[in-house]
Structure 1
Amino acid sequence: MNDLVFNTLKEKDFIVKSYLLKVSVSLNLNLNDFILLIYFTNQEEPTLNIDNIKKYTYLTEEAIMESYTKLIAINLIEITMKKDGNGLVHEVINLDNIIKSVTSDITREHKKNEKTNLFSLFEKEFVRPLSPMEYEIINEWIRSGISEELISEALKEAILNGVKSIRYIDKILLSWKEKGYKSASDVRSSLKKEDESTPELFSYNWLEDE
């Protein structure tokens, strides 16, 4: 390694954000794409400064432009216009889409885990594996917009009534939909109101009648 390369590496330490690894793998980016992203995310105000990028990444101009064009094409980075202190307009690379991409991946993964947990909850309460038909019915509930929280509450209601049947739970959910319930808290609030409106049979003080 010659002195120039050694001094450059010594002076410029790049921080590799963990989310870049996730984005690069999920979008099947190549090494040059990844290196360019690392460079951009380490700049306070990233711009397409070819000379600087070549200096710190050792990529050729052709490789830089190829990766740069690709990152724009897949909407991972975008160009925005910004005024400097002198009122001059210049191009700045906006990296917000990288964060949005990671956030979307995390959200999808979270929903996938929630769905898996819901199936596991049913199998635990039913004390048996679900049939393909039961899986499809639960998926249909989710696709129709019923929250997994409400589905879990309906399952709990069925178990409290001593019934382990998907069809029974389907009727509960249909009834709740007609009543406008969208969450478990809606169900609990309604039950609480019903309890409060039920008269107490033994609240009368018989001793005062003597």
Structure 2
Amino acid sequence: MDNDSAAPESAGKRERNYAATVEEIKTVALSEIRKVGPERMAMRAIGRAIGMTPSGLYRYFASRQDLLTALRLDIYRDLDAILGYREDEGDPLSRRWMGMAQRFRSWALEHPGEFRLLLSGEARDGRGTEEAVEILTRAQEVPRQIIQDAIRAGDLVSPVPDADKYAGEGFNALPDVGVIMSLAVLGYVQLESQGYVERVIGDPKDVFEVYLATVMRNSGFTLR
């Protein structure tokens, strides 16, 4: 093998090793968040867990805030995939909203570190980055469209007076429907993630389905 062909191969290996180390750092950071919370996540503890000096760690993330920003962007991409799911477009609108809520619940329970960061002040601090705003704006497109279509189809009759005039604006214009249903789901999943639902009620999955249907009916959704 000549030197010309060896150089790109060596560079490619370095890039793969770098990317693998970045992912390892993020995985350990999320583990720390699960244990101590986002506010107390420490770079020194992360470096110690993976056998890296603080100076070595900062070659991958220039600061603690840079690491949190990377984690937040990963979370927002996950949310974009959950909320932007389109393969159920032929299903009844109420079923599509239910499916979206169920996918979010599954993600939150399977990714407790990410979910804890999402709910924290540390997550809110990073929303202003251009990429984050772009991802979150895109993530709202499908939920907003479901609300708009449900209003037009008569499947969603909001308790808000003159709700039909908001049909062109959907999710953002109907806090009593889109936002409140979303907050209801978020609150339930937060309690479930802390073990409260199972201790008090029983099988969280069965309870969630009943809870979600009740919230939707009370918000004016016709379930189909």
Which of the two has greater strand per residue? Answer: 1
Q: Same fold (TM over 0.5)?
A: no
Which of the two has greater helix per residue? Answer: 2
Structure with greater contact order relative to length (CA < 8 Å, sep ≥ 6): 2
Q: TM-score normalised by the shorter chain: which range applies?
A: under 0.3
Structure 1 length normalisation: TM-score? 0.28
Higher gyration radius (CA):
1
